[in-house]
Structure 1
Amino acid sequence: MKYCMLLLPLVLAACAQAPEVTAPAPSATTAAANPASPTGTDLLTRYHWQLNNAIDRNGTHIDALFVRPDRPVQLDFSPYRITVVNSCNSMGAGYTVRKGYLQIGPMVSTMMACHDAALAALDDAISQRVRGSVNVTLLARDNAPSLQLVTDSGDTLSFSGVPTAETRYGGPGQIAFLEVAAQSVPCNHPLMPNAQCLLVRDRFFDEQGLATGTPGPWHPLNQDIEGYTHTPGIRNVVRVKRFTVRNPPADGPSVAYVLDLVVESEKVGQ
């Protein structure tokens, strides 16, 4: 028995249409006194911003924004777009930063149904607050930046910065697609005896998200894919970013794989 869920990259790209915007200005930062430190724009895009506290104008904790403590609401910024991660649906909008305010355009979202009522309500709780004109404060403190948003209704959302893979590895990664077999296989791992490794092969897709070319040969992957958790019996096609590891440790890989998107998932019958 098999089922298949296909989430082509084109789906998210189609949802990402936004009004024309300008790049955010360095005025977003209020505490980057060191001239050699990154601008506010750089800080926004170089970190994942994870929600760690949220209170309303009366100081009451906003519980609706903390449905899954192990997967906090996260904001990711590109130069022109803000994306909400770890909500029920994928959501995003265009944005600018002007005179200390984050100007957020109309939010667009996928339309996936979530059976958990609290998780389903999370989308609305976020979209009510991450919209319109929001006061923004960005602080850079010894490689532990923080972001604070204050809405026009007086809610205060506080975020901690976690370095992106591009920040950690010192440059942009190369996009690649891997098909991960349903079952892992024994492999020779330099650090682990009797290791089990993911069995993978390269896959190729065109700009419309359609499979193209001939898949590469299957081979064990003697390392993890950051952010990917394998479930035995589930075959996945994943979009990853591949980074060169500078000065890798002895017996360590010279390339790192970081999960970007699960494109396809299928349960393989036993």
Structure 2
Amino acid sequence: MKTSLWLLSLALAACATAPDSTTQAPATASSMPTSTITLARYHWQLRDAVDADNQRLDALFGKTGRPPLQLDFSNGQLSVRHACNAIGGGYRIVDDHLVTTALLQTMMACSDATLMQRESAIKAMLQGRPTLILSLAGDTPLLTLAAAGGRTFTFVGQPTAEAHYDGPGATMFMEVAPQTVPCPHPPLPDRTCLQVRERHYDANGLRAGEPGPWHPLPQDIEGYAHQSGVRNVLRVKRYTLKRPPAGAPSSAYVLDMVVESETVKTPDAKQR
């Protein structure tokens, strides 16, 4: 089975609008400036959701260990992750309200009730011009979206890779082979590495040029969990580490999105 989210990513990029970086009232001890710069520094993960009667919406959380519903803001674009479909569109902040453009999404059908509940709930919230509030709980940034009907979603901020590594990363595409291989000079006995090669795409999302050579990757890709027997093409960000420890890699790789995913029937299937 083979899937692709690349076309949605291109569509969202084409719809990009210039960010509104106007900062609202000065921050107090318990608040943060409401600006697109502040929003873009974090991955916003759903921590709490209540209805108009202050009853928790448990259906949006599901089983323990499931990644929480997540919002990301970048270059005037808003994206939703960990719902049934990937969702995104342009956004602005107008008089402390979050105003989105028409939202685009992939068209998968999900049997998971939690993912379906998340999708319908977050779309209704985003399309309803909710009040947007940024605040601090100690050192933890919080984003609150409050709908006119009384529903309130609270998200906790996790620093983005750009914030963590103090600078922008270089975008590249990396194909991951379905099976791991022995690591060269492994720090741990019996450790295996991902086998990867670089891929190239044109502005229309079509493969371009020849892929690079296969080689073991003796480090992790942050945010990526490999499944044996599955070949993936990933869009990743590569960050140069300013002061890596002695003997450690000089770069960090962070997953941006899975472009292709294909289950390979047998471990001996030839790599293309």
**2:24 aligned counterpart, secondary structure:** helix
- The answer to whether structure 1 residue 267 and structure 2 residue 263 are counterparts is yes
Shift of 1:20: 5.6
Q: Counterparts of 1:29 and 1:212 in 2: how far apart (Å)?
A: 48
1:50 to 45, 50, 67: 45
- The answer to whether structure 1 residue 63 and structure 2 residue 61 are counterparts is no
Unpaired runs of at least 5, structure 2: 267-272
**2:189 aligned counterpart, secondary structure:** strand
2:208 to 194, 207, 212: 212
- The answer to whether structure 1 residue 14 and structure 2 residue 23 are counterparts is no
Q: Counterparts of 1:231 and 1:58 in 2: how far apart (Å)?
A: 42
What does residue range 114-153 of structure 1 map to in structure 2 within 5 Å?
114-140=110-136, 143-153=139-149
Give the conservation status (yes or no) of the 8 Å contact 2:43–2:72.
yes
Q: Give the structure 1 partner of residue 105 of structure 2.
A: 109
Q: Give the structure 2 partner of residue 5 of structure 1.
A: 3
Give the conservation status (yes or no) of the 8 Å contact 2:20–2:35.
no
What does residue range 1-270 of structure 1 map to in structure 2 within 5 Å?
3-7=1-5, 9-15=6-12, 18=15, 23-27=20-24, 30-31=27-28, 40-69=35-64, 70-140=66-136, 143-270=139-266
Give the conservation status (yes or no) of the 8 Å contact 1:21–1:96.
no
Deviates more, 1:154-163 or 1:245-254: 245-254
Q: Counterparts of 1:63 and 1:139 in 2: how far apart (Å)?
A: 23
Unpaired runs of at least 5, structure 1: none
Deviates more, 1:100-109 or 1:76-85: 100-109
Give the conservation status (yes or no) of the 8 Å contact 1:94–1:104.
yes
Q: Counterparts of 2:91 and 2:2 in 1: how far apart (Å)?
A: 35
Deviates more, 1:202-211 or 1:94-103: 94-103
Which amino acid in 2 is paired with 1:52? R
Shift of 1:137: 1.1
Number of aligned residue pairs: give it.
265
Q: Counterparts of 1:91 and 1:108 in 2: how far apart (Å)?
A: 6
Which amino acid in 1 is paired with 2:38? L
Shift of 1:164: 0.5
User: So what's the TM-score if we normalise by structure 1?
Assistant: 0.89
Deviates more, 1:132-141 or 1:176-185: 132-141
Shift of 1:161: 0.4
**1:229 aligned counterpart, secondary structure:** coil
Which amino acid in 1 is paired with 2:113? A
User: So what's the TM-score if we normalise by structure 2?
Assistant: 0.88
Change (3 A) 1:84 1:29: farther
Which amino acid in 2 is paired with 1:225? I
Q: Counterparts of 1:24 and 1:97 in 2: how far apart (Å)?
A: 9
Shift of 1:156: 1.3
Q: Counterparts of 1:56 and 1:17 in 2: how far apart (Å)?
A: 35
**1:133 aligned counterpart, secondary structure:** coil
Q: Counterparts of 1:170 and 1:19 in 2: how far apart (Å)?
A: 24
Give the conservation status (yes or no) of the 8 Å contact 1:242–1:256.
yes
Over aligned residues, Cα RMSD in angstroms? 2.4
Which amino acid in 2 is paired with 1:89? N
